């Protein structure tokens, strides 16, 4: 399979053998709660979803392994294919009290539990205005994953996104194809969140890191013959974003250049990339390379 470097997807680090196609080619449907979305500041929702998909939020070993909240909760749901050595029992489970992530929660026992679907009711109230959810999110970031202390705006944004995750209606399709548009949308959300965060430098930095992570995910899908020029442009775009001076205007200008220039070029070559189902199938079916 493509775990030999032919397709060096970071997602395969925590994907059960045999589930590569299910994870790389498809994603669960996002079924946001329209009542929550209508009542929430769009910039806050944008920032929350971008942070949810960024490993930089969790920090520590999770960030080094490129794990974000979305690694375990794909589009806010569970992940029956999650399998990480020494952290999972059966696929779809994780030991969140393992010292790998944080000594604060370590209990010296291997006790993986099923990864929950966040669309389902949990132990913590998600009622608007209830501080229980932001407190719980803070505990997860800081204690469970050893992440840096998040700002109150970050916690509010993440809580808003979690509240917006709703169950899909009965009979809805299980998932939809993964496309370049998924990453482009998350980049747009991250930039919107960063641009609206002039009063919160930490949220701004985290949102920029979230956008750069999505650029990296695009890059790995374009690791194909004939696409090296686009990969160089992706790297340049990421470095430009990292060097931006403070200010919403600079962020919006960066995104305008990206949306008008590199994004359309990526879209025109998407059929040659690993977003294309036929190209992905061939990559996953390729025989393993002999060791050097």
Reported residue count of the chain is 292
Q: What is the pLDDT of residue 7?
A: 63
Residue from 218, 211, 182 nearest 194 by CA:
211
* Residues 87, 83: Cα–Cα separation, whole Å: 8
Write down the number of H helices and E strands in the chain: 13, 4
For the chain, 292 residues long, give each residue's pLDDT as a single digit of tens. Answer: 444 444 678 899 899 999 999 999 999 988 999 999 999 999 999 999 999 999 999 998 889 889 999 999 999 999 999 999 888 999 999 998 888 887 777 788 888 999 999 999 888 999 988 999 999 999 999 998 889 999 999 999 999 999 999 998 887 767 899 999 999 999 999 999 999 998 899 999 999 999 999 999 999 999 999 999 999 999 999 999 999 877 899 999 999 999 999 999 999 999 999 999 999 999 988 765 543 3
pTM of the model: 0.92
Whether residue 153 contacts residue 203, with contact meaning beta carbons closer than 8 Å, is answered with yes
Degrees, nearest 5: CA angle 45-195-229: 100
* Residues 197, 108: Cα–Cα separation, whole Å: 40
What residue ranges do the domains of the chain occupy?
Answer: 10-285
Report residue 136 as tokens.
């719980």
Report residue 205 as tokens.
């930095």
Q: Which H or E run contains 126? A: none
Q: Which H or E run contains 28? A: strand 26-28
């Amino acid at each position: 399979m493509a775990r030999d470097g032919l397709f060096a997807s970071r997602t395969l680090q925590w994907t059960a053998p045999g589930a590569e196609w299910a994870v790389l080619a498809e994603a669960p449907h996002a079924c946001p709660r329209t009542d929550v979305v209508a009542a929430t500041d769009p910039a806050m929702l944008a920032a929350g979803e971008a942070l949810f998909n960024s490993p930089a939020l969790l920090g520590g070993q999770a960030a080094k392994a490129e794990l974000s909240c979305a690694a375990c909760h794909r589009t806010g749901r569970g992940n029956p294919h999650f399998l990480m050595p020494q952290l999972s029992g059966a696929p779809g489970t994780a030991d969140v009290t393992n010292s790998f992530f944080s000594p604060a929660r370590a209990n010296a026992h291997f006790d993986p539990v099923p990864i929950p679907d966040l669309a389902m009711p949990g132990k913590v109230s998600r009622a608007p205005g209830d501080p229980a959810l932001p407190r719980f999110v803070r505990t997860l970031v800081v204690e469970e994953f050893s992440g840096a202390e998040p700002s109150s705006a970050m916690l509010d944004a993440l809580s808003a996104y979690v509240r917006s995750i709703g169950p899909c209606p009965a009979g809805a399709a299980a998932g939809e194809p993964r496309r370049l548009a998924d990453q482009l949308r998350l980049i747009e959300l991250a930039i919107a969140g960063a641009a609206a965060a002039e009063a919160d430098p930490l949220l701004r930095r985290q949102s920029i890191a979230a956008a750069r992570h999505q650029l990296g995910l695009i890059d790995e899908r374009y690791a194909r013959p004939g696409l090296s020029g686009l990969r160089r442009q992706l790297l340049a775009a990421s470095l430009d974003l990292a060097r931006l001076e403070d200010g919403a205007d600079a962020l919006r200008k960066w995104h305008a250049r990206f949306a008008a220039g590199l994004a359309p070029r990526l879209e025109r070559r998407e059929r040659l990339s690993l977003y294309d189902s036929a190209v992905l199938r061939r990559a996953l079916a390729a025989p393993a390379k002999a060791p050097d």
